[in-house]
Every structure is written in C-alpha cells, then in structure tokens.
Chains A and B, each alone.
Chain A
C-alpha cells in the first residue's frame, strides 16, 4: 500500500495532479446542482407571490362588485 502511494518516488506529483483534477471535476458537477436549486426556490417564491397577488385582486374585485351590486 505504501509502495502504491509512493508511486516510485513520484507520489507527490501523481497525487497532486489527480487531487486537483477530481476537485475541479467535483466543482463542475456541483455547480449545476446548486444553480438548479437556486432557480427552483426562486421560481416557487415568485409563483406564490403571483398567486397571492391574483387572489388579492380577485378579492378586491369581488368586494367592489358587492358594493356596486
């Protein structure tokens, strides 16, 4: 095992190269996941706000109709 890690004396170079590469790949994979979550939560909040605004408008209109009618 320690022989495998030593990589014939080049262990530092080999593991550094692989470590950096897989860290970058992991970051590239996480980015779209985070972006998707952010978009979904933002869009849901907007949809709620839209629905609330619609409900308020309907309420006002009904109130107006009651008063006028």
Chain B
C-alpha cells in the first residue's frame, strides 16, 4: 500500500538547471533530425504519425489536464483537419502548407461554436456529448459524400519535397510534421505557464475562487476548447500528409479512445507527457501485433485502467520518480549549482 501511495504522490515538474535542459533539447532534436536520414520509409511514416497524434495530445492536455474538461470528441476536429487538407490540397490543388492555417482557423471557429453550449455541461454530461460527437463523425463524413467521396475516401499524393532538397517524400513529410509539432509544443508550453496557464488551473481546481480572482470560467473553458480543437484540426492535416489517405472509418470511437489514451498514458498536465503518450499509442500496436490482432486493444485498455489505479501521473510520472532523486544528487543537474 505504501508503494501505491508513493506512486500516487503528486510530484512537480523536474527543476533542472538551464544548461541541462538546453542539453536535453539539443540531444532530442539532434536525434529527431538525424534519424529519418537512416531509417526505412515505414519508420519515418510511423514517426510522422506520432507527431500528428502528439499535436492533438498537446491540445487535449491543455483542455483536460489543465482546465479539467473532458472531451472524447476531438476525433471530429481531427477528421475535419484531415478532410480540409484532402479536399483543398488533394482535389482543389491548393499549396499543401496552406491547409495548416486554414485548418487552424476553421477548427478554432467550429470548436468555439460547439464548445460554447457544450461547456455549460460538466463532467459526465460533457463526456457524453463529446462521445456522441465522436460517434456521429463517420456518418457525417459518409453523409457529405458529395465533398468527402463517402465510404471510398480520398487517396492523396501531396507534400512533394521541393526540388532544392534531395530528400524522399517520407523524409520531407517527417520534417514538415516535426516542424509543426515543435511550433505547437512551444506555443502550448508558453500557454500552460504564466497568467493563462494559471487561470486554466484555477478553473479546474475551483471555479468560484477563480471567479473571485477576476477570471471568467466560461470564457476560459470555451477558448481552451476552441484552441484544442484547432490543434486537433492541425493534427488532422499532418495525419493526411503522413498517411496520404483519408476515409470515414478511421475517425470513429477507436480514434476517440486513442486520443484519451495519449494524454492518460503520457500523463495529464504535462506537455512532454502528451508526446510520450503519442509514442505509446503508435508503437504499442506494432510491438503487440505478433501476439494477436486483439492484443493492441487489450494493451490500450490495460494501460488506461492501470494508469488510473496505479500511476495517475502516467509515463511522465515515472520519469519524475526516477528524475527527482537524480536532480537532487547529481551536481550541475539541479538548479542554482
């Protein structure tokens, strides 16, 4: 029991010295920049996919982790982004990068319109409404078959590398997605600290107290919802780059649960955790598919239950359990040494 209590204890983010955090950033970025040059196309596509799930995870982390609002429906905004990209770039011939701002703006607007009434609900009711949104998404796509080509889906051939670089398409898309993820990560990191981040946490922990401090909970919640919808839509665009195909069946309940798994397994309230969670949901099926085709689903399920019962802080909680003693003991790793 004491072991369980130790795992449950809340741990703050690691306080590492400035130079060691820069060192970590350089090592991670260096690895990420180098690895596509020496990997097979499949591995690059897999990593590009991780980047698009991580974008969704970052937005959901702000919404669920920091602001405390559940959404099971971000698959709908993800699908929106993917289809915007497929239709505008694939069918209409727009420049492929233009899909990113368009998806961001449309995702924000639709997220705002949906969130405005929906966020009057709390907890369970909000979960139900957003779950319904996720379940309706495939049938909406099929219904709009004039635009979306219904069940057949849209096959794409977009995001060609420009002529001045000698990269293959999978490598180029990897770098494009990585760049978008890094930009999204920096934005979310800025948002989750400082005044905005503290108002989100205030709304999560006690709305009444937050209100007395001059924060409007409804406004904060709706804006965060809209922002996370925009992140999901941009994630959808990068998904369309990576997979080069969009079809209705990819955007149903399974995807909604996958997104929840991203933030839960990674660790709620941590941006780095959202990225770790995305790594988990992409690689776990490829580790387990040798056992049985059902093993991946069981793995997701067990991970969700275990995280809630044993490790509420997710993978990032594990990192902190190992990291805190290290930071304290190893010279130059901690702050002010």
The finding on whether chains A and B are genuine partners in a shared complex, rather than unrelated, reads no
Give chain B's interface residues, CB within 8 Å of chain A: none
